[in-house]
Amino acid sequence: MMLQHALELAGLLFLNIGGGGGSAPESGPLKQLAAYLWQGGLPMFNSLQTGKLPAGAEAFVEQGEQANLAATKQSFDSLGLGKSTMATQGADAVRTAAAAQRFQIAQQVSLEGLQALEASGGLYTSLAQEYLQQEQQSASIFGGFGQMLGLLGSGSGGGFLGDILGLAGGVTPANYNISNQL
């Protein structure tokens, strides 16, 4: 149960990754695929705990159970033992076999759901890493830009920025503090 809640929380936390400014073009389809795997995998993963099979699997087991019950009833009815203990035991054996089949299918579906959740988690991890890398690149670019502005405005004569400011109305680095403007 705790794993289920942790998986739900992880999925919710990462559903919006890449939604900010600089997401790569391929992150949209990856987010959609990750969300699809998550939304499909979670109910599958829970089927072993809840006992609920996907609709098609439940219908398959139910049809087989009903067919086997009908065949068992017909077999005992033809022998004149339709209301006997043996007929009841035969019907119980059919129901037990159907329950075992449901468990096997639920176990397989849960495993497939877990695999889908793992794949979704891997995609979300990749998207998170991509997002963090883009954020680091943006920070590096803006940091470099700020550093460049600092270098342009420093030096003995005000540097290139001082020359530009000097041409733009007689302002020199001595009487114009560029750092107050940033």
Residue 25 and residue 57: Cα distance in Å, rounded? 38
Residue 57 and residue 14: Cα distance in Å, rounded? 31
pLDDT at 163: 53
pLDDT at 20: 43
* Of 65, 41, 60, 48, residue with least CA distance to 108: 48
pLDDT at 146: 62
pLDDT at 63: 96
**pTM higher than 0.75 for the full model?**
no
pLDDT at 85: 93
Residue 31 and residue 41: Cα distance in Å, rounded? 15
Cβ pair 44, 157 in contact under 8 A: no
Mark out the alpha helices in the chain (DSSP H runs).
2-14, 27-50, 55-78, 85-152, 159-167
Domain count, the chain: 1
Residue 23 and residue 101: Cα distance in Å, rounded? 46
**Containing domain of residue 53, as a range?**
2-180
pLDDT at 52: 85
pLDDT at 111: 87
pLDDT at 13: 47
| CA dihedral of 123, 126, 132, 138, whole degrees rounded to 10 | -100
Instruction: List per-residue pLDDT tens for the chain, 182 residues long.
Output: 434 444 454 455 444 444 444 445 456 777 888 887 888 888 888 887 888 888 888 999 999 999 999 999 999 999 998 889 999 999 999 999 999 999 998 888 888 888 888 888 888 888 888 888 888 877 777 766 666 666 555 554 555 555 554 444 444 555 545 555 55
The identity of residue 22, as a single letter, is G
pLDDT at 98: 95
**Tokens representing residue 157 in the block:** 């004569």
Q: What is the pLDDT of residues 83-115, one digit of tens each?
A: 899 999 999 999 999 999 999 988 888 888 888
pLDDT at 160: 54
Cβ pair 171, 165 in contact under 8 A: yes
